């Protein structure tokens, strides 16, 4: 049976950026690596999306970013939490 890939997006431009880092670390640590392939995606406070790796992720700090990786968001609408 093949593994399902799970993308975990965390960080972001919200005031809850740091909370998202802590929450995603908890979620990631509880995923069974024998069942799931993980695709962590860090979103900076400036809104830049980058693939990342989990190794050596210290408390409160984002995981190491994969060099020269950047995801260009193609989302429409206002930033999260805004209705205008």
pLDDT digits (tens, 9 = 90+) for 26-84: 888 888 989 988 888 888 888 888 887 766 565 545 555 555 555 555 455 556 555 54
pTM: 0.66
| Contact of 49 with 42, CB cutoff 8 Å | yes
* Higher-confidence position of 53 and 3: 3
Count of domains for the chain: 1
CATH label of the domain that carries residue 42: 3.40.50.20
Domain that holds residue 61: 1-84
**Percentages (nearest 5) of helix, strand, coil residues in the chain:** 15, 25, 60
């Amino acid at each position: 049976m093949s593994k399902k890939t799970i993308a975990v997006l965390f960080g972001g431009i919200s005031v809850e950026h740091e909370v998202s880092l802590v929450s995603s670390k908890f979620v990631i640590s509880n995923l069974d690596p024998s069942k799931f392939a993980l695709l962590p995606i860090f979103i900076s406070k400036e809104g830049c999306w980058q693939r990342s790796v989990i190794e050596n992720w210290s408390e409160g700090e984002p995981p190491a970013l994969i060099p020269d990786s950047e995801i260009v968001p193609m989302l429409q609408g206002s930033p999260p939490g805004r209705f205008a």
